[in-house]
Structures are given as C-alpha cells and as structure tokens.
Amino acid sequence: MREFGYQRAGDVSGAVALIAADPDARYLGGGTNLVDLMKAGVERPARLVDVRELPLDGIEPTPEGGLRIGATVTNSDLAAHPEVRRRYPALTQAVLAGASGQLRNMATVGGNLLQRTRCGYFTDLSKPCNKRAPGSGCPAVTGEHHNHAILGATDHCVAVHPSDMGVALAALDAAVTYETSDRQGKSPIADFYLPVGDTPHRETALPPGALITGVVLPPAPVAARSRYRKVRERASYAFAIASVAAALDVEDGVVRDARLAFGAVASRPWRARAAESVLIGAPADGTTFGTAADAELAAARPLPDNGYKVTLVRNLVVAVLTELAEEAAR
C-alpha cells in the first residue's frame, strides 16, 4: 500500500471538489472493498476523501410513493428499515445474504454498487487481468472459472459482479443518483453498469469524479411479495455462485406483474426482462416459470466448467417463483 493523503468531507460539494482536483483520489465509504483492494495493491489511490459523515444517511419516502436511500446508509440500516422490510422484502433479504454482520455495519449503499469483482485473477497482482491491467489478458477463460459469468461476458473478461443488494435493486428498477462538480444526475440501474465489451475496466456510467448520493426506489406494489435466494459454497459468509431476486403478483392464477433479476452470472446484476415478458399474463405454474427461465437463459454462453449455472439459475427461478405463487395462493 503506497502512502496517501486523507481528508474528511463535510458536505457533498466539498467532497466532489476534492476529488475533481485530484484524478488519483478515491471516495472512502465503509472501506470494506476499497481498503482490501489497497492492501492487495489493486487500488493505489494518492488520496482518500472520506464521505462516511456526509448527510446522506437517511431513508425517506418519495412523493411518488417510493423510497430514497442515502448513499452512506449502511447495509445493516438498510436491511433493518421497517419500510424496506415491508415494501421491498427481497431487498432486505438480499442485503442480509451478503457478507457478515460486521461488514454490513460498515458497508454503504454507494460503495456496494461500486464494489469490484472477487475474481481471483483480478485481486492477484501476480496474474494477468484485463479488468485490472487492460490488455494483459483474461486467464479465467481457459483457467479457473467455475464461478464466472454465463451471460453477457466476452473473451476480454468473464468476471461476475459480487453484489447481492444490486440484484434486488435491478429487479426493483432502482435509479442511482449522483453529483459532480457541475451537475446532479440520475441513472437507472439498467444503464448504470456498462456492457463488458472490450473494456472490462470501465464498469459504470458514472461521470469521472461523480459521487453517488443515493438510490431511488420507485413504488412497486409487486415487490410486497418478493424474495431473494442465494446459493453459495458454504451456508453463509460467502459470495454467490448464483442468486435470484424475484417479485410476483398473481391474480386468479395468472401472473399480473413480475420482476426477476439474477446475481453472480454476469459482470452486472442481470435483469431478466425476457423471462418477465414470458411470465406476465401467463398461468402462475411451474411450466411457465421454467419457460420464462429458459427464455432468459437462451442467451447463456457457459464456459467448460460453469455450465451448471444454467441449470442452477433455472432451478432457482422455478423454486423461488413457485414459493411466491404458493404464498399468493394462501
């Protein structure tokens, strides 16, 4: 870890100004990913601007009937918030499925969106990685990749996004708000993460120096019946090998509305719109759920050792939607 400067920002504009003045500076939130990457030598900022004490730690209702979640709200506070638990239970479940109690107390919503992949090539300076060192190659394609992407990847990078929270946010049509030195902006989460293409090191649509100020959840009555299921290689405290966030509104045995997103299958939380269009208007049964999953997974391009993820995601979709449908029928 190289030496660096440290400043605590008192307000948003001050934080943005400090970063704008120094291209080697980074915002420091909970530090759970950034400090780790600095120890690994993957991140080598010249200066940290600590934004944890900015007044962005509220969760408030929006006039439209949704929720605005401040960027420095911790994962723990987000998961425990009564309105989140009542209106978006899948979001609480997703956050609680991630990391550990200690890390959730530290990690912030803004930082969670920006966390980097846990691909073992990315985090190891002794190995090539296009995301960390553009042009050096992607050894995962022919090397260890049993937990790599099956959707949207390219030969340049097959890493997956590690966030659980992001998967629920993708299903819930959340939008990310940010601020730069000259404007405030808002990006739907569908546009927030960039396609991998041949530039895997460019991950988000955030303008340079922008500070994430929060996340806006639109009203989503469908989310009142929603779930997050995560599969990992131990029962807790591990990153996903696949996850599903789902919301389902069923009336008279027919799907009225549905939301579906997958985790740990792509470089970003994967909104399953093809599956949703199969679901909406169809009978709420196992056949529909399987067909919906297949529609989304038709685009899957598994590598030699991660083809199981296609089966796993399909099974998860059917299982979670079936549970939600049974709950609705009760």
Partner 1 sequence: MAPAPSSTSSAVTLNINGEKHQLTVDHRTTLLDALRERLDLTGTKKGCDQGQCGACTVLVDGRRAVACLNLAVAAEGREITTIEGLAEGDRLHPVQQAFLDLDGYQCGYCTPGQICSAIAVIEEHAAGWPSAATEDVRPEAGPPPLTPEEIRERMSGNLCRCGAYVSIVQAVARAAEAHGEADTESAKETAA
Partner 2 sequence: MTTATTGRTEVKGAVGTAHTRVEGRDKVTGAARYAGEVPFADLAHGWLALSTVARGRVRSIDTDAVLGMPGVLAVLHHGNAPRVDTDYIGLLGIPPDPTAAVFQDDRVPHAGWPVALVVAETPEQAREAAEALVVTYDEEPHDTALTSDHPGAYPADGHMPAETEKGDLAAGLASSAFVVDEEYTTPEEHHSMMEPHAATALWDGGRLEVIDSNQGATWVQTELAKMFSLDESAVRVRSEHIGGGFGSKGLRAHQVSAVMAATVLHRPVRVVMTRRQMFSLAGYRSPTAQRVRLGADGDGRLRALEHRSLNQTSTVYEFVEPGAGVARVMYDADAHRTANHVVRLDVPSPTFMRAPGEAPGSFAIESALDELAERCGLDPIELRLRNEPEAGPVSGLPFSSRNLAACFREGARRFGWAERDPRPGMRRNGRWLLGTGTAAASFGAGAGPSTALLTAEADGTFTVRIAAADLGTGARTALTLVAADALEVTPERVRVRIGDSDFGPAMIAGGSMGTRSWAWAITEAARDLRERLALGTTVPPEGITVRSDTTAALGALAQKERHSFGAQFAEVAVDTATGEVRVRRMLGIFAAGRIVNPLTARNQLVGGMIWGISMALHEEAVRDRSTGGLYAPDLAGYHVATHADVGDIDADWVEDHDPDDPVGIKGVGEIGIVGAAAAVANAVWHATGVRHRSLPIRPDRVLSATAPTAGGGADA
Q: What residues make contact with partner 2 under the rule CB under 8 A?
A: 1-3, 41, 118, 120-121, 123-124, 126-127, 139, 142-144, 146, 231, 233-239, 241, 305-309, 311-312, 315-316, 318-319
Shortest distance, position 105 Cβ to partner 1, whole Å: 5
Cβ-Cβ contacts under 8 Å for 212 (sequence gap 6 or more): 71, 109, 110, 113, 114, 176, 177, 178, 206
* Binder among 63, 235, 252, 329 for partner 1 (CB under 8 A): 235
Helix residue ranges, H only, 183-330: 189-192, 273-279, 286-297, 308-329
* Binder among 15, 16, 25, 92 for partner 1 (CB under 8 A): 92
Binding string to partner 1 for residues 34 to 53, with x set by CB under 8 A, is what? -xx--x--------x-x-x-
Shortest distance, position 264 Cβ to partner 2, whole Å: 12
Shortest distance, position 233 Cβ to partner 2, whole Å: 5
Indicate the residue among 71 and 99 with the shorter CB distance to partner 1.
99
Q: Which long-range contacts (CB under 8 A, 24 or more apart) does 249-253 make?
A: 249/221, 249/222, 249/225, 249/328, 250/284, 250/324, 250/325, 250/328, 250/329, 253/283, 253/284, 253/285
103-162 positions binding partner 1, by CB under 8 A? 103, 105-106
Residue written as token pair 């691909």: 119
Report yes or no: 228 and 93 within 8 Å, Cβ to Cβ: yes
Cβ-Cβ contacts under 8 Å for 311 (sequence gap 6 or more): none
**Partner in contact with 231, chosen from partner 1, partner 2, none, beta carbon below 5 to 8 Å by kind:** partner 2
The one segment of 64-72, 183-191, 233-241, 272-280 that binds partner 1 by CB under 8 A: 233-241
Shortest distance, position 321 Cβ to partner 2, whole Å: 13
The one segment of 60-68, 75-83, 271-279, 285-293 that binds partner 1 by CB under 8 A: 75-83
